[in-house]
Amino acid sequence: MISEAGTDLSASPHQKQFASWLGLCPTNQQSGKKVLNRRTRKVVSRATVAFRNAAMTVLRSYSYLGVQYRRLRTRLGAPQAISAMARKLA
């Protein structure tokens, strides 16, 4: 992750900005208060891939994060749960 983001994270002072830079936050494209698109952005970043892989390995963990991932997966489905857990790990 350090090779992608670097050691100085002052460019994104908040957690939400960092997660958005990684492409883990949904975009809300609207036109006249009607939501057109809510998907996550397509980002080519090795850090994003690393966070997504880490989120997938939490599946078999008996920790708090594992329980939360399994709960999200039953409610949202696997792809959205992976993105949500990767955002939480980031």
pTM for the full model? 0.71
Residue 7 lies in a domain: no
Residue 48 lies in a domain: yes
From first to last of its 90 residues, the chain has per-residue pLDDT tens of 666 666 666 666 777 777 777 778 777 788 888 888 777 777 777 888 888 888 889 888 899 989 999 999 999 888 888 888 888 887
Residue 31 lies in a domain: yes
Domain region containing 64: 13-89
Residue 5 lies in a domain: no
Handedness of CA 57, 60, 66, 70 (dihedral sign): positive
pLDDT score, position 3: 60
pLDDT score, position 45: 79
Residue 85 lies in a domain: yes
Residue 6 lies in a domain: no
In 5-67, at which residue ranges do the beta strands (DSSP E only) sit?
A: 29-31, 34-37
Number of domains in the chain: 1
